[in-house]
Structure 1
């Protein structure tokens, strides 16, 4: 196995820097999830329509899709320190606006700015964690990032719901954590040299990146497909559970918590899994799990089988996120890593945004069973494509390449 020596950032001790990056990763994972528990309270209190509150919830996602590539190019030029700090500060200030306003236009504007901050946090934390080590150290950090994101996806909405029981404005206070994290990032992140060059514009373009590294297109498509299938499960699993007679919100939530819990556990031990199994095998396991899981979801209404299907999707997420992150982050040269990673964020949110577009028409034309079967068939197609090609760890190629 390829296992170069681990490295500290710029040769300096990092102290609390990894903790800042992992905490920031939890925030990046639940930009919309924090306010989901109080959506109805906001709609009722402000007297706005369901469509208006839906735009409020989803505004950040569209911004992340658009802004992420610009964040990536900026990261490649100027490094992570200031972008991470400023992104976290923008996240905290913009997200915290909801604690003090009852104005829908101001809230909507703040959500747009929050999306820009979240785009920076999502991409830059990934680049920073990739740069903190090599080999198993890198696997460990990216696995921990997966765990941090899944823990955040569960913990922050639960805390938001508890605060919302007192006042929906209090829920927005959770975003304020971005402010101390931003200050800590500016203090602890090591200084970096700008990477500008005469041909930076040409080399930094998305088209040029994909032309030089065509395999990235496959990893972005896989990232989008992963976002689509996972979000489809989160959105439409309650409908299948209702058909199984499970309608109590507490029990429904346990299924979704289980989804993230399995992913978090896999992320925590990913370094040991990656030491034993290659990336190609892991990706095949990912899509085999999804194929089996969505077949079960389509054909069964037995609670234990539905729980097993949810666990399989959680396991696949716990493997997919670190593997695709490493494949995307290590395929290009380090000076293009920011753009490469940022496009993964774009792909992920595009996949999530396509969920109602893909699932909705199938459900209306046929049924939820048919929609799940389509996802299972799509997962089988991806599995067949993966079975036909060899997927190598790009770090190995870099290690043996002539210098």
Structure 2
């Protein structure tokens, strides 16, 4: 197997653009929530059910991603990818016609299944078709494209919602523009060598243990990062009385920072081990949250948002890459499906875990507490990474027997 293999440019670009679709679920319709709530105001519990329109896809991604991963390994990556696109377009755009809030929720659940298929298959195909430094760079670019897609789709959804809340659901039809390029993608499961080895020589039990650690980090990391979109609007409104438009613009800075740092992931990861990248990620999130918690100046809050966003740009690519490196090629889909579940379970659980802290200490106190947790995690990860590097250096310096 070559030390570094890059897929054809058109194939790589198609997969990167497919990755942007996975962030559209929440980003596109967030500006329409008020319109949805007003339209279905006569429905019992309309307020709570309208919030589920935003969060329900994440729950079904959690449930469907392991199945999507197994299907990738048994049936092939491309069928899962195309199935995901079909569900995504049909269920995503169905909100434009849904006559009731209950049917709208059903469509959002099916959308979650489609996103699980898209995200799992896309990341697996990127990992299949690239190796070495090229794989690291592409996974970083995947994170950058996802962050950039978050910015684009928030603004697209906002513009559509200005016309009518149902128009925002039509944005999902844009995914059809990728269909011709997706049909030309090769089936990467068959393209790989049957004896493609894992990048690590660790025993199976130890690799499975590391996968468990990676899943735990994905859950905790996403739960802590998701404090940004869930609680930051309230903090900014409390301290600066900003309009919803300005709140959205400032939070978009977080995604812009993640996009920039994602483009640099491959370069930094070549010099820093996976656990070291965890320390950097947690350190950036901790620093950004600490600045936000203590700041009553908009300039300092913007700095905190940018620093925290840079941490997000490293988190997803690093954990994806780490999972790929600890998995046999034949089980790659299942491993990445499990990782998708961990990411979105953290996203779904974030407000449930954070609300008691916010109720007790306020939104500023919540960010301060998160900064302490993240800073402690960064210190532990850095210490373990440095000890591992030191041990490896000693072993390499020992004379052969």
Q: Which moved more, 1:259-268 or 1:177-186?
A: 177-186
CA distance in 2, matches of 1:54, 1:210: 41
2:279 and 2:150 mapped to 1: Cα distance? 25
Give the Cα separation in 1 of the matches to 2:39 and 2:133.
Answer: 51
Map Cα deviations across residues 323-364 of structure 1 (whole Å, 9 max, x no partner): 111001221111111111111111111111222222211121
CA RMSD of aligned residues (A): 2.5
2:240 paired with 1:245: yes
Greater mean deviation of Cα atoms: 284-293 or 142-151: 284-293
Return the alpha-carbon distance in structure 1 between the equivalents of residues 243 and 27 of structure 2.
Answer: 20
Q: Could you tell me which residue of structure 2 aligns to residue 28 of structure 1?
A: 22
The DSSP-based 3-state class of the residue aligned with 2:98 is: coil
Cα deviation for residue 105 of structure 1 reads 2.9
Task: Name the counterpart of 1:334.
Answer: 329
Gaps of at least 5 residues in structure 1 are: 9-13, 198-208, 397-403
2:261 is the counterpart of 1:266: yes
In 2: Cα distance, 1:254 partner to 1:55 partner:
24
Question: How many matched pairs?
Answer: 375
Whether 2:350 is the aligned partner of 1:355: answer yes
TM-score (norm 1): 0.86
- Structure 2 Cα separation of the partners of residues 162 and 338 of structure 1: 36
The answer to whether the 8 Å contact 2:225/2:285 transfers is no
Question: Partner residue of 2:397?
Answer: none
In the superposition, relative to structure 1, how do residues 180 and 243 fare at CA in structure 2: closer, same or farther (>3 Å)? closer
Change (3 A) 1:160 1:211: same
* Contact 1:77 1:194 survives alignment (8 Å): no
CA distance in 1, matches of 2:113, 2:227: 25
Change (3 A) 1:223 1:192: closer
Q: How does 1:164-313 map to 2 (within 5 A)?
A: 164-190=161-187, 192-193=189-190, 213-313=208-308
Asked if structure 2 preserves the Cα contact closer than 8 Å seen for 1:123 and 1:345, the reply is yes
2: CA distance between counterparts of 1:349 and 1:75?
Answer: 19
Matched, 1:46 2:40: yes
Aligned to 2:144: 147
CA gap of 1:182–1:90, structure 2 versus 1, over 3 A, is farther
Where structure 2 has 5 or more consecutive residues not aligned to the other structure, the ranges are 195-203, 393-401
C-alpha displacement of 1:380: 2.2
Greater shift in the superposed pair: 249-258 or 158-167: 249-258
Aligned counterpart, 2:5: 6
